[in-house]
């Protein structure tokens, strides 16, 4: 079951940019390493298409990850995510840098994170989201907790909620009913 704060719809209506953490949000959080030490990640197509739906509706998309990964760079390129910050030891500083770069106020952003390192951004963005398996401390800071699991459609669920709140979901989905 998903959780909605009483002001979740109002917050989602103001969103102009959606920012995602990667591990534990766009992936299930497990870290896989190949025989040569290369890092492998599994991304769900549902979540990727959710990102594309946001973009079709005119919203900006971004990633802030504490880790550095070639797989994330490739997935971001594939999805057309313009703003990608990897290796962010301080996610709040990365968030502030991103806001300056795109000239946006924090109220106009949504952020989806899953762990305590995401709390500084979750507490400052306009619409804070988390997958349902996030730790309780993170869940308490969220305006929306997805019913779906991380890496299995939780990000897509958030994307559709934002688009529905803004009255854009039907229009975006209509493109696929031709």
- DSSP annotation of 173 reads H
For 148, the token pair is 């779906």
Element (H, E) at 112: strand 109-112
- On the question of pLDDT at 166 being above 90, the answer is yes
- On the question of pLDDT at 1 being above 50, the answer is no
Q: Are 17 and 161 in contact (CB under 8 A)?
A: no
With cut-offs at 50, 70 and 90, classify the pLDDT of residue 2.
low
Q: Please report the pLDDT score of residue 81 as a whole number.
A: 97
Number of domains the chain contains:
1
Q: Please report the pLDDT score of residue 49 as a whole number.
A: 96
Which residue reads 């401390």 in tokens? 137
Q: How many helices (H) and strands (E) would you count in the chain? A: 8, 9
What distance lies between CA 161 and its chain's CA centroid?
A: 12
> What residue numbers bound the domain in which 142 lies?
3-174
What distance lies between CA 12 and its chain's CA centroid?
A: 13
Q: Are 15 and 127 in contact (CB under 8 A)?
A: yes
Separation of alpha carbons 139 and 137, rounded Å: 6
Q: Please report the pLDDT score of residue 33 as a whole number.
A: 85
- pLDDT tens-digit readout, 88-121: 999 999 999 999 999 999 999 999 999 999 999 9
- On the question of pLDDT at 14 being above 70, the answer is yes
- On the question of pLDDT at 152 being above 60, the answer is yes
- pLDDT tens-digit readout, 24-79: 999 998 888 889 888 888 999 999 999 999 999 999 999 999 999 999 999 999 99
pTM, to two decimals:
0.95
Residue 97: give its domain's CATH number.
3.40.50.1000
């Amino acid at each position: 079951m998903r959780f909605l704060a009483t002001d979740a719809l109002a917050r989602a209506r103001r969103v102009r940019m959606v920012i995602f953490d990667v591990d534990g949000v766009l992936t299930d959080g497990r870290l896989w390493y190949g025989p040569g030490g290369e890092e492998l990640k599994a991304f769900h197509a549902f979540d990727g298409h959710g990102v594309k739906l946001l973009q079709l509706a005119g919203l900006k998309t971004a990633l802030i990850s504490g880790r550095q990964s070639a797989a994330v760079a490739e997935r971001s390129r594939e999805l057309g995510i313009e703003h990608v910050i990897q290796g962010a030891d301080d996610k709040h500083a990365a968030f502030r840098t991103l806001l300056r770069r795109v000239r946006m106020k924090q109220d106009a952003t949504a952020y989806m994170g899953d762990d305590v390192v995401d709390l500084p951004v979750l507490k400052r963005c306009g619409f804070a989201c988390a997958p349902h398996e996030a730790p309780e401390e993170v869940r308490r800071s969220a305006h929306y907790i997805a019913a779906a699991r991380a890496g299995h459609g939780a990000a897509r669920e958030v994307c559709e909620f934002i688009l529905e709140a803004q009255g854009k979901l039907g229009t975006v989905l209509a493109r696929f009913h031709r």
